[in-house]
Amino acid sequence: MVDAGRPDLPACVAPDGTGYAGPVRLAQCTVIGTLRSRVLELVSNSLLLASAPAGVPPVDAERRQEGCVRYSHVPAGSRTPRRHRCVPASAGDEARMSPQFISLRYADPGYLQHTASTARELREGADDASEMGVFHDLFQPQRHSNLRVRLDEYLRVGLEAGILHAT
């Protein structure tokens, strides 16, 4: 994870604070803050949460002819290389597809964990149907599905079980 503290602060820029940083590769990452890179070599299964003033791209790649952004959340208005299965697909989906976290404060138990009301496309939108972002490798959607199947399989007739999430 790369956390600038707020989505409008620079998370990855040149040392001068405004220029383009070097090449960037992100896999299963959550980035909070603006990103300016010469080239985004690969952004995969990641969440980019950034905001910028009007007319300034929140995520900006100087060279967009090379690199790839795949199975990731990219804020509206970003200038990136070609995208594959990224969300939001259109400007109208931006509000529904914005990542919602239990907490954005480091050291909180729910730090950067998706809320239950987060769009399904973010919770199950990675290339292997896991969640986008830093908790990708926990495979929460798959664990949840497996638990539901086992509960249905082993519960006695007439009993019901539910899953309660705690952080």
Compute the Cα dihedral for 119, 135, 129, 155 and give only its sign: negative
pLDDT of residue 16: 87
One digit per residue, the tens of pLDDT, for the chain of length 167 reads 999 999 999 999 998 878 899 999 999 999 999 999 999 999 999 999 999 888 899 999 999 999 999 999 999 899 999 999 999 877 778 888 888 999 999 989 999 999 988 999 999 999 999 999 999 999 999 999 999 898 888 888 888 888 887 76
CA 152 – CA 160 distance, rounded (Å): 8
Q: Which residues contact 90 (CB under 8 A, 6 or more apart)?
A: none
Cβ distance 93 to 75 under 8 Å?
A: no
Largest CA distance in the chain: 66
pLDDT for 164 equals 81
